[in-house]
Structure 1
Amino acid sequence: MKKTLLAVTSLSLLAACSSTQTVEQAQQFAPCTFPDSPTSEAPAWVCDVIPTDLAAGALGYAKKSAAGIGVMRKVAVNDARVQLAAQFQTDVSNMFKQAVESSVNTSTEQGAIENVVETFESVTKNVVSRSLTDSKLIVSQVSPAGGLYVLVGMDKQAYQANINEVVDAASQEQKLWHQFNGEKATEDLTNALNSLKAM
């Protein structure tokens, strides 16, 4: 009897919780704290909650240094830019893969599609390693332990400009076009590249 009552009570509580929570309440994050000072509350961006007016952002960190805040800022910003570049590269490669899979003629060989995706990923890596333009320091915060946290990001316009740079470089890459034979396949690839520029 006690087990049945306990089970019914538990189910009632679960049902009540699930029926009274809004989407906003369900997505609220646990309080954010600084990783180097876990008892101190931190801004949400320190816990990777990227502001909605940024298309992409990354967190950088520099530990407290006797060299001063200027050196710490350079270290933290470089750390964030490396992570932002890796994130951007992955995002653009995934978008291109989706565009190719949805645009390319189904009669095209799977191996050719894979080669095109790999070539595009290589082009993206080369472009990103040369320069990821218009990323900037958005905000910084010193933790109670003395470490410096920074958020580096790109707004939607800067993000799209970087995508366009990758697409322009890919359009010039002969290896990308040699994978496909035929007018229709070339048209498909052109459409896939253009879809990235139209985002």
Structure 2
Amino acid sequence: MKKLIALSVITLALAGCKTVNTGTIEEAQNFAQCTFPDSPTVEAPSWICDVMPKDLAIGATGYAKKSVAGMSVMRKIAINDARVNLAAEFQTDVNNMFKQAIESTTKTTTATGADENVVESFESATKNIVTRSLTNSRLIVSQASPAGGLYVLVGMDQNAYDANVNKVVDAANSDSKLWKQFNDDKAAKDLQNALTSLKKM
């Protein structure tokens, strides 16, 4: 009898853990409530929780706490914070694209260590390029929180994103430090093919 009761309890517990289908991905996203990080009991727009609008190729949020300096100063701080976050995200995107391009363009005869050195060199080069040359990001929307802080969303449409990718590729093509990694024509051609494949026509 005790075994039967224990078995019934386990069965009910497992039934309670069953995954419930909540519908489409969009419905599932809308179901998750977003709140202001500085006012966690108040509902916030979903972009504050990194649910990006579909018409942006890339976006990032920024924040400025309430300041006696006023809203104009807070806006500058929040936008700068968002642009720093956007640059980091963009750099990660480009580096991932480059890794994929290197893997698809280099032949299996190329040493793994050589590929890793190239990727590391490219990541170092793109960090400098992105930091000084990311352009055409714009303020999309801003929202004051109940606590008086300011949240902003900065982003790029697809055309601006593609233009920035092209700019990074062009700068990498002219970076002598990156090209010094190669001591033969085949490896240099592999890099050229990888960089060309990143260009957005």
Q: Common fold, TM-score beyond 0.5?
A: yes
Structure 2 partner of 1:8: 11
Q: Which residue number corresponds to residue 166 of structure 1?
A: 168
2:37, 2:177 → 1: CA distance? 45
User: Contact 1:105–1:184 at 8 Å: present in 2 too?
Assistant: no
Tell me how large the CA RMSD over aligned residues is. Answer: 1.9
For 1:158 and 1:6, locate their aligned partners in 2 and report how far apart those are by CA, in whole Å: 58
Q: How far 1:86 sits from its partner (Å)? A: 1.2
Judge conservation of contact 2:166–2:200 (CA < 8 Å) in 1.
no
Residue 80 of structure 1, aligned match among 67, 79, 82: 82
- For residue 174 of structure 2, what is the amino acid of its counterpart? Q
Aligned counterpart for 1:67 among listed residues 51, 66, 69: 69
Q: Which residue of 2 aligns with 1:45?
A: 47
CA–CA distance in 2 between the matches of 1:43 and 1:87? 21
Q: Deviations over 1:102-146 (max 9, x none)?
A: 211222222322221122112211111212100110000011111
Q: Give the conservation status (yes or no) of the 8 Å contact 2:163–2:200.
A: no
AA paired with 2:23? T
Matched to 1:22, the amino acid is: G
Indicate conservation of the 8 Å contact 1:103/1:191, yes or no. yes
TM-score by length of 2: 0.89
3-state DSSP of counterpart to 2:60: strand
Query: What pairs up with 1:87-98 in 2 under 5 angstroms?
Result: 87-98=89-100
Classify the secondary structure of the residue corresponding to 2:117: helix
In the alignment, structure 1 segments of 5+ residues that lack a partner are none
The residue number in structure 1 matching 2:190 is: 188
Deviation string 1:49-103 (CA, Å, 9 cap, x unpaired) is 1112111111111111121111110010011111111111122112111211221
**Aligned CA distance change for structure 1 residues 111 and 175 (closer, same or farther; 3 Å):** farther
Equivalence for 2:122: 120
The alignment of Structure 1 onto Structure 2 pairs a total of residues equal to 197
Q: 1:86 to 1:47 in 2, by over 3 A?
A: same
1:137 alignment partner in structure 2: 139
Deviations 1:22-59 (A, max 9, x none): 34255555211111111111100111111121111111
TM-score (norm 1): 0.89
- Alignment partner of 2:56 out of 29, 49, 54: 54
| Matched-pair contact (CA < 8 Å) for 1:105–1:185 | no
Moved more, 87-96 or 109-118: 109-118
Which amino acid letter does the alignment assign opposite residue 156 of structure 1?
Answer: Q
